[in-house]
Amino acid sequence: MAVQRGLEEAIAICCDHIQALDSEYLHINDAFMRVAAEDIASPINVPNFDRSSIDGYAISEGDLGKLRTGEPLTLKVIATIQAGSIESKQIRAGETHRIMTGALLPEGCAAVIKQEDVRISGNLIVACGSLKQGENIQRAGHELTAGERVAPKGLVLNAEILERIAACGIENILVHQIPRIYVINTGSELLLPGSPIKTGQIYNSNRSLLSAKVAGSGAIPVLADSIIKDDLQQIVNEIEKATPVSDMIIISGGTGNGVYDLVYNAFEYLNASPLFKGIDITPGKGTSAALFNGKLLYNLSGNPHAAGILFEVLIKPALLKLKGDLFSAREWFDIQLDSPIKKIKPYRRLCQGEMLIEQGSVYAQPVSGNNNPIKNISLILDIRAGQGAKGDMVRAIILN
């Protein structure tokens, strides 16, 4: 039987019932923002040869010692080495090779002197000043050694990580499949934006809210074609339609105990395994979840304010788990309220907030409900029973 749960318990129960989606190999150019499904290690040293880190002149071991005496040293330029040249050259005392940044060092090269630091006279250079052994040389494996980990399993592959993977010469990457999240909005009062509205009707804004939240979490929203009326059979049919084509189903509306709140009845009708019915938190206290054919079914409040907050705190952790993302979970942290909550209540509440920086310190400004002027919502605040006065420390997560 489904029971009411605390928020943390509800999150854990949902996460315990799912696992990361299967993986597939993708070409590196198609892997942006996908999640690595295995540790990625460099198969080679990067670079895989000793190279010059500057445009300059290669100095042999013997000539390096001479330079240390402080006397100017004249060397004959006998070659120019371009980056990309794979020809192995040898440098002898009394000679130098002009060498470009990133080019293969000639054998016997002990350091490279900057071209700005030499005087050029025909095919001779005059160098002076002391150089350290290995100066301006990048050794093989300077960036990465063969076998070194470039990206751990579970990491979202951003531009910088993809650059490192490419630098190792890896062409195909094993990544998790992207979760497809089916969004169903129930409510006989709902209309899609663009349709003429009659008194008593409202536009379905949860569809935009939830599909944007899904997309913003790096998953694919799959939207029900139409609005689903508060009708048991319609809800059941839509869940049956959604299950084979998605990895998780989010249904808004119908979490209450009114005559037409039928989503949970649909869960029961379908024999879905109940996970919880109700969460001990406001808003969203009517939120429920069940497991149907291995997929999580969530029922969020129809109230968009509640649906948005519950998506962030309850659904997002499960979505990250489905993605195989082991690193993006948000940590709750403590922050001071810059202004009071409208009404202090004797129970735990979640609310939206803005992060403010004042004189180098960070504060949270609560933003309540749907009927506020649009603000840059950057936080969700967790207000404990009795909290909410200016200066109170509350818990928060940053939205991204």
Ligand X SMILES: Nc1nc2c(c(=O)[nH]1)N[C@H]1C(S)=C(S)[C@@H](COP(=O)(O)OP(=O)(O)OC[C@H]3O[C@@H](n4cnc5c(N)ncnc54)[C@H](O)[C@@H]3O)O[C@H]1N2
If binding is defined by CB under 6 A, does position 283 make contact with ligand X?
yes
Burial of 253: CB neighbours in 10 Å, binned 0-12, 13-18, 19+: buried
**Nearest residue (CB) to ligand MOO, 154 versus 366:** 366
Interface characters, 291-330, with ligand X (x: CB under 6 A): ----------xxxx-x------------------------
Smallest separation (angstroms) from ligand MOO to the CB of 24 = 38
Compute the distance between CA of residue 282 and CA of residue 265 in angstroms, rounded to an integer. 22
Please pick, from the candidates 282, 328, 365, 368, the single residue that binds ligand MOO as defined by CB under 6 A. Answer: 282
Interface characters, 298-327, with ligand MOO (x: CB under 6 A): ---x-x--x---------------------
Q: Which partner, ligand MOO, ligand X, none, binds residue 221 by CB below 5 to 8 Å per kind?
A: none
Please pick, from the candidates 143, 261, 280, 392, the single residue that binds ligand X as defined by CB under 6 A. Answer: 261
CA angle 176, 180, 185 (to 5 degrees): 155
Stretch in the footprint of ligand MOO (CB under 6 A) among 84-92, 201-209, 276-284, 380-388: 276-284
Stretch in the footprint of ligand MOO (CB under 6 A) among 232-240, 241-249, 280-288, 391-399: 280-288
For residue 23 the two structure tokens come to 């993986």
| Residue at 66: amino acid letter | K
**Residue whose Cβ sits closest to ligand X:** 302
DSSP character string of 164-224:
HHHHTT--EEEEEPPPEEEEEEB-TTEE-TTS---TT-EE--HHHHHHHHHHHTT-EEEE-
For residue 379 the two structure tokens come to 């936080």
**Nearest residue (CB) to ligand MOO, 254 versus 284:** 284
The answer to whether 342 and 373 have CB atoms below 8 angstroms apart is no
Judged by CB under 6 A, the number of residues near ligand X is 21
SS3 state at 69: coil
Alpha-carbon distances of 151 from 27, 124, 165, 175, 327, rounded to whole Å: 16, 47, 8, 12, 12
Site for ligand MOO in 19-78 (CB under 6 A): none
Q: Which partner, ligand X, ligand MOO, none, binds residue 252 by CB below 5 to 8 Å per kind?
A: ligand X
SS3 state at 243: helix
If binding is defined by CB under 6 A, does position 280 make contact with ligand X?
no
If binding is defined by CB under 6 A, does position 352 make contact with ligand X?
no
**Nearest residue (CB) to ligand MOO, 187 versus 286:** 286
**Among all chains, which residue has been given the structure tokens 């089916």?**
182
Residues in contact with 47: Cβ distance below 8 Å, sequence separation at least 6, in sequence order: 102, 138, 140, 141, 142, 143
Task: Note the residues at the interface with ligand MOO (CB under 6 A).
Answer: 282-286, 301, 303, 306
Task: Note the residues at the interface with ligand X (CB under 6 A).
Answer: 185, 187, 189-190, 202, 204-206, 252-256, 261, 283, 286, 301-304, 306
